[in-house]
Structure 1
Amino acid sequence: MKFKAFFLTITIQKRKLSKHEISREQHIKNIMDEVKERQSSFYSRLY
C-alpha cells in the first residue's frame, strides 16, 4: 500500500491601506448602514 501526501500552504498577508482607501471603505460602510436602516424602517412599516 502506498501513501502519498501533498501539502500546500498559502500565506495571505494583509496589505496596508492608504488613507484614501480607508476613507473610501468607511464611506461605503456608511452608505451600506444607511441602506440597511431604510430597509428595516420600510419593512417595519409593512408589518
Structure 2
Amino acid sequence: MKDYIDVPISVKISRAQKEKLSQLSQKLNRSESELVREAIMALLGVYYG
C-alpha cells in the first residue's frame, strides 16, 4: 500500500523559467516534472511544516 495519493496539477511558468528548468533538468539528469514536483513539496513542507 502506498502512503501517498496522485494529485494532477498544472503550473504556469515564464519562458525564462522554462529555459532555466530545462537546463537544470539536463544538468541533473532528471525530468522537469520531477524537479517541479519536488520544489512544490519543499514549499509545502516549509509553509505547513
Q: TM-score, normalised by structure 2?
A: 0.36
TM-score normalised by L of structure 1: 0.38
Larger CA Rg, structure 1 vs 2 = 1
- Structure of greater relative contact order (alpha carbons < 8 Å, 6+ residues apart): 2
